[in-house]
Chains A and B, each alone.
Chain A
Amino acid sequence: MDSMVWHSLFGRFVWIDLPVVKAWQDPTISNIIAGAAAMIAVFGALAGLGLITWLRKWRYLWSEWFTSLDHKRIGIMYVCLAVVMIVRGVIEGVLMRVQQDLAVNAPGILAPDHFAQFFSTHGTIMIFFVVMPLISGLVNFAMPLQIGARDVAFPFLNSIGLWLSVGGAVLVMVSLVIGEFSTGGWSGYPPYTELAFNGGVGPDYWIWAVTMSSLSAMLTGLNFAVTIYKLRAPGMSWMRLPLFSWTALCTAILMIFAMPPLTVATLLLAADRYLGMHFFTNDLGGNMMNYVNLFWLFGHPEVYILILPAFGVYSEVVSAYSSKELYGYVSLVIATMAIAVLSFTVWLHHFFTMGQSANVNAFFGILTMLIGIPTGVKLYNWTWTMFRGRVRYTAPMLFTLAFLITFVIGGLSGIILATPPLDYMMHNTLFLVAHFHNMLIPGTLFGMIAGCQYWFPKAFGFRLEEKWGKRAVFFWVVGFYMAFMPLYVLGADGATRRTVEFSNPAFQPWLLVAMCGGFLILAGLASLFVQVWVSVKKRDRLAVPVGDPWDARGLEWSISAPPPEYNFVSIPQVGHRDAFYWRKRNHGAYKPADHYRDIEMPKNTGWGVIFGLGMAVCFFGLVWHIWWMAILFGLLSIAAGLVRSFQRDLHKIIPAAEIEAADRHWLAIAAAATPVSRHLEETPSNEGRAIWPE
């Protein structure tokens, strides 16, 4: 084909950009791994699509899920996205551990640029396409239920947010099959990511995937904040808000303020790369320090965006599985807000080594340490919540206990890194890698897993089987210690991060242990899949239709499992903190409504799906300089986003009779169920109705 025609049709794509073709022409181990990964991605996707076709589930998925504006379903879809992406993220992590173990004075199995793609995709995926979707998912699912709302404030915006995230994840996955990903790490520091040093498609994939996630997070944060401000049930005053919803609010506020710096950073980088501007270039007045500041102005609050909802989950879990009121609710709220505010004042500690004066470094070092106070307070709050409680060692509770002990270590290494002179020696080493994994795995990820296990019965109507859950805890915790404690030692010894090959033979045993830890974490992930699989098979014995399997305290437990689309038959009146606990105590639970009224709910719509995926195609066009595709799909997406403002008839009415029938059916199940004590919580006799506290 004529090269002009080719270029206008396919941009800068050539066949060698396919990893499979590259592996065929140059079959090194590294290229074969890349080719195989591409094949796995393609066949995995084809198998998934084929399975859906074979099961004839397309119509069901489209009409019941993809187009749904129900916050619970959107939440579950977010979690599904995270589950798909975490598989890739963890496997990449393990392969990096294998590479470093093999590559002590030897090349190992991955070529340097391939290894660089691994750490870049690993970080990008884990932050933007695993933890962020997990947070959006859990908050979406649980927060409206907790505050007694029927949905979030902007259901369509919610769908847009979800599909923007999916679109971003699709871009990252496509980079596995067509072309390559950035080698600039998850933070994408220029000038390394500028055209002069990286002219390929990698940084562009990174820019657009992250931009999509950033926009999604900003819209989601806006939605959550407005929901909590405006849609709380009557009587749900601020000091009665469940702690998870408090953390959701703080996270939402952080998203609103912290995502714009990321968007600005990535778009200015794009301006450099696409329009030839000079924001962060070496020459013509560019200044890479601006990027570093912008990125961490987002990046540090982001850390708390990631951790606060996990703190919320721990607060719920520790109280539920101790059958006890949360200790120090007010100080927990104050601590949460304090962390949220302080998180904007510490971004400079990510670059103590950039040459600012000692006073500036000391100032930001102290502010960083200040965050340790509210965080420490929280740890003690959870600890004292167990005091004089009835503690059950369920999987979520074990994750919480492991978190309490392990997180302190990460916090302390954080204090070390917050001390500028010590940071001078540890920055950019594996010590730093160990530190943030110590915060993100036992902190965020354990919390997210615990949250998924805790609310799973509410979402699906049956409990998760405990045996595999406990195995997962074991593998995750042991795996974490083995994988990351050695990295502290190596980092203190001057081992740099992002390094494909080490020359110091003394590193070898530590890297070996770390690799074994990586495999244990993989086993932990697999155990979680087995847990879900086993639970689905045994779902009849694990069923908890009444909806309160843990004798828990928030409003979300006062309704059936799974909840009806409209959540609450009538919007609850809240008179206490721990509203459902007090209703149970006062024998006010499982009562029919005074009046059954029609309920108006938003109709499903597919425009969000078209918007998000259309944007992904548009950005794919930008990555490859396929301008017709970018323009066409960009316009299509914008149109899809606007169509809805022309439509009316966006709501459907659920008739009172239907609601009453469903409610009375559920109340009959509840009346027939045998209330169980906490000793029998894990037995099939638990149908989701608890013996009420005296």
Chain B
Amino acid sequence: MAGVNEPELLHAGLNLANHPSEKQAQVESDVFGFWVFLMSDAILFALLFVVYGTMLDATAGVPAPHTDFKFSSSFLETLALLSSSFAYGMVSLNLKLGASRRWIWGWLGVTFLLGAWFLRLEIGDFTDMVAHGETAQASGALSSFFVLVGTHGLHVTCGLIWIVIMAVQLAIHDIDERVKINLIRLGLFWHFLDVVWVAIFTIVYLRGLLA
């Protein structure tokens, strides 16, 4: 396809202003669409937060979710996800600087491992809670906890699958225009999950641990 590896199409998110070509505008609109999608997704999370907030007291005699929160694991989860975001930042920088795809694979791999570690920790938390009888079926409060945190976890899982898909596409197509656009979108998605996690960590875990 025309336009592959043209110098002006390195990273629409990072060096847009200097290169107002037609292609750049096209890519910009593709990425803008993903921003809009994230906005809609953010509404979804906002509503799940609200539902969680209204159901905090709906414990129905079962211990509230926060009684089983552990600072260590939620802190490690935060650490894992935030550093995975840093790793993805390195993917973006390598993309912008025109590095070879080996570097991009490398940083995608680091992102994936950190993300997977996050998920591993989260699943560990969940199984602990279930083992203590705090299942999603036990009370409204627990339902809303599991759905809020679980939806984020599901997003992370999708992100991990997406990382694998991008790694495969890098192998098939090298760094072509569509791979670039999708890497930029994946980056937005991954950082977005970080933002949501920061909110979950603060509102769900820290608040719960303080209570």
A residues lining the B interface (CB < 8 Å): 153-154, 157, 218, 222-223, 225-226, 229-231, 256-257, 259-261, 263-264, 268, 271-272, 275-279, 281, 283-287, 290, 294, 297, 642, 645-646, 648
Nearest CB of B to A280, in Å: 9
Query: B100 near A: Cβ within 8 Å?
Result: no
Closest residue of chain A to B141 (Cβ to Cβ) is A285
Closest residue of chain B to A271 (Cβ to Cβ) is B147
Nearest CB of B to A266, in Å: 12
Closest residue of chain B to A255 (Cβ to Cβ) is B40
Neighbour of B51 across the interface among A154, A225, A226, A290, CB < 8 A: A290
Nearest CB of A to B160, in Å: 14
Q: Is the CB of B32 within 8 A of A230?
A: yes
Assuming the contacts A279-B140, A287-B55, asked whether A645 and B47 have C-beta atoms less than 8 A apart, the reply is: no
Assuming the contacts A222-B37, A648-B1, asked whether A286 and B32 have C-beta atoms less than 8 A apart, the reply is: no
15 other A-B residue contacts (CB within 8 Å) besides A229-B32, A260-B43? A154-B30, A226-B36, A256-B39, A261-B43, A264-B47, A268-B51, A277-B143, A279-B55, A279-B143, A279-B144, A279-B147, A286-B58, A287-B58, A290-B55, A645-B165
Across-interface contacts of A229 in B (CB, < 8 A): 29, 32
Across-interface contacts of A263 in B (CB, < 8 A): 44
Query: B182 near A: Cβ within 8 Å?
Result: yes
Q: Is the CB of A222 within 8 A of B40?
A: yes
Q: Is the CB of A259 within 8 A of B176?
A: no
Q: Is the CB of A283 within 8 A of B136?
A: no
Across-interface contacts of A646 in B (CB, < 8 A): 169, 172
Nearest CB of A to B55, in Å: 7
Q: Which of B48-86 contact A (CB under 8 A)?
A: 48, 51, 54-55, 58-60
Question: What are 16 inter-chain pairs, A to B, with CB distance below 8 A?
Answer: A222-B33, A226-B33, A259-B40, A260-B44, A277-B136, A279-B51, A283-B60, A284-B58, A284-B140, A285-B60, A285-B140, A287-B140, A290-B51, A297-B47, A645-B169, A648-B176
A229→B48 CA distance, assembly (Å) = 29
B residues lining the A interface (CB < 8 Å): 1, 25, 28-30, 32-33, 36-37, 39-41, 43-44, 47-48, 51, 54-55, 58-60, 136-141, 143-144, 146-147, 165, 169, 172-173, 176, 178, 182
Across-interface contacts of B47 in A (CB, < 8 A): 260-261, 264, 294, 297
A218→B136 CA distance, assembly (Å) = 28
Q: Is the CB of A230 within 8 A of B28?
A: yes
Q: Is the CB of A256 within 8 A of B40?
A: yes
Neighbour of A278 across the interface among B30, B39, B60, CB < 8 A: B60
Assuming the contacts A285-B55, A648-B173, asked whether A277 and B40 have C-beta atoms less than 8 A apart, the reply is: no
Q: Closest 9 interchain pairs by CB?
A: A285-B58, A285-B140, A277-B143, A230-B29, A285-B60, A260-B43, A284-B60, A276-B137, A260-B44
Neighbour of B178 across the interface among A257, A278, A285, A645, CB < 8 A: A645
Across-interface contacts of A276 in B (CB, < 8 A): 136-137
Across-interface contacts of B136 in A (CB, < 8 A): 271, 275-277
Q: Is the CB of B140 within 8 A of A231?
A: no
Nearest CB of B to A605, in Å: 15
A129→B141 CA distance, assembly (Å) = 35
Across-interface contacts of B37 in A (CB, < 8 A): 222
Assuming the contacts A218-B40, A256-B40, A257-B40, asked whether A277 and B137 have C-beta atoms less than 8 A apart, the reply is: yes
Assuming the contacts A222-B36, A259-B40, asked whether A271 and B143 have C-beta atoms less than 8 A apart, the reply is: yes
Across-interface contacts of A294 in B (CB, < 8 A): 47, 51
A218→B60 CA distance, assembly (Å) = 35
Across-interface contacts of A153 in B (CB, < 8 A): 29-30, 33
Q: Is the CB of A284 within 8 A of B28?
A: no
Assuming the contacts A226-B36, A256-B40, A284-B139, asked whether A231 and B29 have C-beta atoms less than 8 A apart, the reply is: yes
Q: Is the CB of A286 within 8 A of B140?
A: yes
Across-interface contacts of A259 in B (CB, < 8 A): 40
Nearest CB of B to A276, in Å: 4
Closest residue of chain B to A651 (Cβ to Cβ) is B1
Across-interface contacts of A218 in B (CB, < 8 A): 40
Nearest CB of A to B153, in Å: 15
Q: Is the CB of B59 within 8 A of A277?
A: no
Across-interface contacts of B138 in A (CB, < 8 A): 284
Q: Is the CB of A257 within 8 A of B172?
A: no
A154→B185 CA distance, assembly (Å) = 14
A272→B141 CA distance, assembly (Å) = 13
A260→B173 CA distance, assembly (Å) = 35
Across-interface contacts of B30 in A (CB, < 8 A): 153-154
A154→B147 CA distance, assembly (Å) = 31
